[in-house]
Amino acid sequence: MREINRVVIPVDKSDASKIAVEEGSHIAKLLGVDVSIIFIDDSQQFIASAALEDKLRKEHISSLEEFKKTVESRALEATTEVIVGLTPAEEIIKYAKENDLIVMASHSKKGMDRFILGSVSEEVVSRVNCHVMILKPQLNESNSL
């Protein structure tokens, strides 16, 4: 196995992202490497208002700062970045380097949601040139059937 130089954690505003940051920072601590937390903003293709874009960007930055605090609480260095792009998977693939470990959570979409939205984690795993760890969210009573 090649040496891992950085843990990259793609996030959104979901609870699953909180778990990815916690687990990813734990792994980074064990490996003795830094963490990069990225938020892919694909809203530009849907939003025509500059004011709304600015508001969303501030929300993304605020979310990233909270995630960064989680990483830094483990005495790790963390960088954050909002990346503007059309598709999250494509931007994650472009961002990752060969010696990275990507730690991301799957949203476990099924049926029509998966058909329409696709699977970001599945596309990243199949196309990226580095290691990827996919975290499966815990099932609860509302989504176990």
What would the pLDDT profile of 41-55 be if each residue is shown by its tens digit?
Answer: 987 766 667 777 788
Q: Domain count of the chain?
A: 1
- How much is the pTM? 0.85
Is residue 123 assigned to a domain? yes
Is residue 1 assigned to a domain? no
Q: Which domain holds residue 26?
A: 6-143
CATH of the domain at 25: 3.40.50.620
Looking at the predicted structure, is the pLDDT value of residue 143 above 50?
no
d(C-alpha 35, C-alpha 25), whole Å: 7
Is residue 99 assigned to a domain? yes
Q: Between the CA of residue 29 and those of 13, 22, 35, 102, what are the distances in Å? A: 24, 11, 9, 14
Is residue 54 assigned to a domain? yes
| Lowest mean per-residue pLDDT among 53-62, 67-76, 103-112 | 103-112
Is residue 39 assigned to a domain? yes
CB 106 within 8 A of CB 117: no
Q: Which two three-digit tokens encode residue 129? A: 């040139």
The strands making up 34-41's β-sheet, listed across from edge to edge, are 78-84, 34-41, 6-11, 100-105, 131-135
Is residue 80 assigned to a domain? yes
Q: What are the tens digits of pLDDT across the range 80-99? A: 999 999 899 999 999 999 99
Check residue 118 and give its pLDDT. Answer: 54
